[in-house]
Amino acid sequence: MLIGGIALIAGTLRFHGQYYPVAIIATGGLIYWHKNILGEQFEPFTIATGAMLIVMAHVINMRLIRRTRYQRKLAYAPSLSGAAK
């Protein structure tokens, strides 16, 4: 959880600046941490929900980083009109 949070915060600060993946992983971690609140019969469902939120936060973060890198690559690419001159 700690390593995932650090990775998401680093990606947020360095690349895309969107904070909702951090909120999603925090929510997933809290649900996972408090898995015993609903009782023993619902424990597998709360564990699965927390784990899915954690995985979803990582996937969203990776997509945001990939999109940001692609947009930066396009911004620094030479334009066709500038190359023809």
pTM to 2 decimals? 0.74
pLDDT tens for 4-43 read: 677 777 777 788 888 888 899 899 999 989 988 888 999 9
For residue 21, what is the enclosing H or E element? helix 20-33
What Rg value do the Cα atoms of the chain yield, rounded? Answer: 19
What pLDDT is attached to residue 39?
A: 87
Task: Give yes or no for a contact between 27 and 53, defined as CB atoms under 8 angstroms apart.
Answer: yes
The one-character DSSP state at 77 is: S
Tell me how crowded residue 31 is: count the other CB atoms within 10 A of its CB: 20
